[in-house]
Amino acid sequence: MSFLLALIITLNLFILLSGKFYMYKGIANTYLIGNTGPTIYDLHLSPYSIVQSAKVPLKNLKSGLFNQFKLPPKYSALIEEFETKAFLVLKDDTIIYENYWGGHTEETVSNSFSVAKTLVAILVGIAIEDGYIKSLDDAVSLYLKGFSGEGKREITIRHLLAMASGLDWEESGKNPFSDNAESYYGSDLRRLVLGQSMEKMPGKSFNYQSGNSQLLGYILEAATGTDLSEYAESKVWQKIGAEHDAYWSLDKEFGDEKAFCCMYATARDYAKLGQLLSNKGLLNDEQIIPSWYYDEMVTPQDLLTKDGISNYRYGLHTWTYLDPQGQVNYCRGISGQYVITIPSENLVIIRLGSKKTPLVRISKEKLQDTDYIEKIKFQVGHSYGLFEYIALGKLISSEG
């Protein structure tokens, strides 16, 4: 008991002396209620803006084949172990499988986490097409006057999109002292992201950082003169025929959208976003995502990863898996949110849940084995779950 008391006193002293007051909110909404981190149902924790739906369903998005496919035992086990809440499969613009678990329904909105990053990237391409942003290679400082300091003027919009800014943001989904934790539970995002310093030269290495996405959100607002939610609503959400309003968490009342995460939507509307990506940005005879920009989004950038190999898995705020049977482009969130698209098969797979499967890693010893690298390089950094969800989606498609 005395140890626990000492721990509480020490933690309080640290918070008070460091000024990390966001930790009180974080602890109250995680450890004290039995969670170890953010959940997909955190909408009530922060103020939010509303991204209004179109109220008109997308043409040709048909449904009704609920639970016609019986999940094989190994997939049922995967669904249960990793607390899957929704699984949808679209083939040729038709929902061929849709199922929900644990009280989640077709009207439940849940946290997209980093799936929102890809939406932000889409908006950047649209803003360029609209003439608000001149080029992907514009310096960030052209749009954010407070973004200055040694080396920071060399950072471009492309660097942010490719996760190659060279900034010192600490990315962690579990560390309560990380920049991620402060950005999720704190109330001054602008100060946090503009205060980053340079760690290495931009444009050289891939280093996944949510701070890059938040900067893109600020660039979009500065360039368009429009709130991020409003721009997303008019340029994407209503155009894809979203059936429900989405909600975007703010850092404080009337504050800034958490562009790096925290847009809440239904599984079906995530599927419509996936449909847009699967169709290479074209929907209802309108090229919503500029075709040249879509191609950039799904092309792995020429960078080195932390594993010391060439980047084969990340384009511009979009994950890529170069499967021999056809490239897979996808968005993913920290708890295993997936919007998976296989354009060559016109297939979209949505998986929402509360846990994720581990990432594929390789040892330092095997990094020295060139033959091994050639065999594994396309899989490193992807989740085991990705391959299983792709396999299940394809199985459902073939049965349907």
Q: Could you give the residue range(s) of every CATH 3.40.710.10 domain in the chain?
A: 37-399
pTM of the shown model: 0.92
Nearest Cα to Cα of residue 360 among 301, 291, 285, 307: 307
> Where is average pLDDT lowest: 16-25, 56-65, 77-86?
56-65
**Are residues 245 and 108 in contact, defined by beta-carbon separation less than 8 angstroms?**
no
Question: pLDDT tens digit string along 199-230?
Answer: 999 999 999 999 999 999 999 999 999 999 99
| pLDDT of 4 above 80 | no
| Cα separation, 347 vs 343, whole angstroms | 6
Structure confidence at residue 256 (pLDDT): 97
| pLDDT score of 224 | 98
- Average pLDDT of the chain is 89
CA–CA separation, 37 and 80 (whole Å): 20
pLDDT class of 384 with cuts at 50, 70, 90: confident
CATH of domain 37-399: 3.40.710.10
Q: What is the pLDDT of residue 5?
A: 57
Q: Please give the backbone phi and psi of residue 154, each rounded to the nearest 5 degrees, phi first.
A: -85, -10
pLDDT for 344: 94
Q: From CA 316, how far away is CA 273, in angstroms rounded?
A: 16
What is the C-alpha to C-alpha distance for residues 379 and 321, in angstroms, rounded to an integer? 7
